[in-house]
């Protein structure tokens, strides 16, 4: 099958390569001329046979919106556009409506697999009308892992990115649980080989998983993670998952806590924890650290006066 691929970065480039290895004709476009097959979107569209299929792998938000808007002016009725980036599912519905007015089909695909997808295949969560999905099945079959799993036509437009959003929310929670377990194991002098402990869990336990395999790999490269800084960004899908949970009144305490933990990781000196320390000092006289690295007066410090009102004691 012939397909146009827009965006040839880490994911898009590897996906294009996997498709080519499977025998598909891929015409790729990227702003980097060194990896691009064509000079622009108009040339890409001209190179494709009708009905055309174009897969967009650019950052979510304005870059995706601008690309789809331009494609809407270049493509013809009967063509199909795939958004394989990390777009919000509500944006998918708007894009589908705009393209449908021009007779162009729209399919949203949540893609998981990262840098390992070229070798192992990509898990694909697809949303869209059945006819458009059927047209793209040769591409999906080439991209997915071998076997019966790794692909789902999850539902109507928006379902693919909604499913991927929830997938990433679950990922946040699992990663946070592993991280907290690692920190606790490191904090005790009872466990003297933390990396080996995690490695032992890879077989026979209920928490064995690819994330656990990657954790073991990370500890093999840096046993105490001393080469890393405790900062974790979020791609946006964790936030969208929590927002969707609020919209549908579905409690997500673990995923929400994991998202907030990532926010906390970006604060070298947490403003909220400053207030917690100040309040502990006020009601209990607990010692606090000053910005100069010295301990301020607590209740047991000479000259300290932190006696609370009677009704506040306890």
What does the H/E/C string look like for the chain? CEEEEECCCHHHHHHHHHHHHCCCEEEEECCCCCCCCCCCHHHHHHHCCCCCEEEECCCCCHHHHHHHHHHHHHCCCCCEEEECCCCCHHHHHHHHHHHHCCCCEEEEEEEECHHHHHHHCCEEEEECCHHHHHHCHHHHHHHCCCCCCCEEEEECCCHHHHHHHHHHHHHHHHHHHHHHHHHHHHHCCCCCCHHHHHHHCCCCCCCCCHHHHHHHHHHHHCCCCCCCCCCCCCCCHHHHHHHHHHHCCCCCHHHHHHHHHHHHHCCCCCHHHHHHHHHHHHHHCCCCECCCCCECCCCCCCCCCCCCCHHHCC
**Alpha-carbon distance 156 to 298, whole Å?**
61
Backbone dihedral region for residue 264 (phi beyond 0: left; psi -120 to 50: alpha; all else: beta): alpha
pLDDT at 312 over 50: no
pLDDT for residue 231: 76
pLDDT for residue 310: 46
Contact predicate 27/48, CB 8 Å: yes
Of the candidates 219, 92, 84, the one whose C-alpha atom is nearest the C-alpha of residue 144 is 84
pLDDT for residue 297: 47
* Per-residue b or e along 130-160, where b marks 16 or more CB atoms closer than 10 Å to that residue's CB: eebbebbebbbebbbbeeeebbbbbeebbbb
For residue 314, what pLDDT band results from cuts at 50, 70 and 90?
Answer: very low
How many Cα atoms occupy the beta-carbon half-sphere of 69 within 13 Å? Answer: 7
Burial of 67 (C-beta count, 10 Å sphere; 0-12/13-18/19+)? buried
Question: What is the pTM for the complete model shown?
Answer: 0.84
pLDDT digits (tens, 9 = 90+) for 129-165: 999 999 999 999 999 999 999 999 999 999 999 999 9
pLDDT for residue 291: 58
Q: 144 catalytic, yes or no?
A: no
Residue of 102, 156, 164, 274 with catalytic role: 164
pLDDT at 313 over 50: no
β-pairing verdict for 25-29 and 80-83:
unpaired
Q: Where are the domains of the chain?
A: 2-157, 164-265, 271-312
Query: For 2-157, CATH number?
Result: 3.40.50.720
pLDDT for residue 154: 98
pLDDT digits (tens, 9 = 90+) for 228-282: 777 777 778 889 999 999 999 999 999 999 998 888 888 777 677 776 777 677 7
Peptide bond into 104 cis (omega under 30): no
pLDDT for residue 264: 83
Q: What is the average pLDDT score of the chain?
A: 89
pLDDT digits (tens, 9 = 90+) for 269-299: 767 777 677 767 777 677 777 655 554 444 4
How far from the centroid of its chain's Cα atoms is residue 135's Cα?
A: 28
CATH architecture of 164-265: Orthogonal Bundle (1.10)
pLDDT digits (tens, 9 = 90+) for 87-144: 999 999 999 999 999 999 999 999 998 888 999 999 999 999 999 999 999 999 999 9
pLDDT for residue 290: 64
């Amino acid at each position: 099958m012939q397909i146009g691929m827009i965006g040839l970065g880490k994911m898009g480039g590897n996906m294009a390569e996997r498709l080519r290895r499977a025998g598909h004709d891929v015409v790729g476009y990227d702003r980097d001329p060194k990896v691009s097959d064509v000079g622009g979107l108009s040339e890409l569209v001209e190179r494709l046979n009708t009905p055309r299929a174009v897969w967009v792998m650019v950052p979510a938000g304005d870059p995706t919106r601008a690309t789809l808007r331009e494609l809407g002016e270049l493509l013809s009725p009967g063509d199909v556009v795939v958004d394989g980036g990390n777009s919000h599912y509500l944006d998918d519905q708007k894009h589908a409506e705009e393209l449908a007015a021009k007779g162009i089909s729209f399919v949203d695909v949540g893609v998981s697999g990262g840098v390992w997808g070229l070798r192992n295949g990509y898990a694909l969560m697809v949303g869209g009308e059945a006819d458009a999905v059927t047209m793209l099945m040769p591409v999906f079959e080439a991209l997915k892992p071998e076997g019966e799993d790794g692909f789902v036509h999850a539902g109507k437009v928006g379902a693919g990115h909604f499913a991927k959003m929830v997938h990433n929310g679950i990922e946040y929670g699992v990663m946070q649980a592993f991280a907290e377990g690692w920190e606790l194991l490191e904090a005790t002098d009872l466990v003297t080989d933390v990396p080996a402990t995690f490695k032992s869990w890879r077989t026979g336990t209920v928490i064995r998983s690819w994330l656990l395999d990657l954790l073991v790999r990370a500890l093999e490269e840096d046993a105490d993670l001393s080469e890393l800084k405790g900062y974790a960004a979020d791609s946006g899908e964790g936030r969208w998952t929590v927002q969707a949970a609020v919209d549908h009144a579905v409690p997500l305490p673990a995923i929400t806590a994991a998202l907030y933990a990532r926010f906390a990781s970006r604060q070298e000196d947490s403003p909220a924890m400053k207030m917690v320390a100040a309040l502990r000092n006020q009601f209990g006289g607990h010692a606090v650290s000053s910005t100069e690295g010295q301990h301020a007066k607590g209740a047991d410090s000479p000259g300290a006066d932190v006696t609370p009102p009677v009704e506040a004691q306890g």
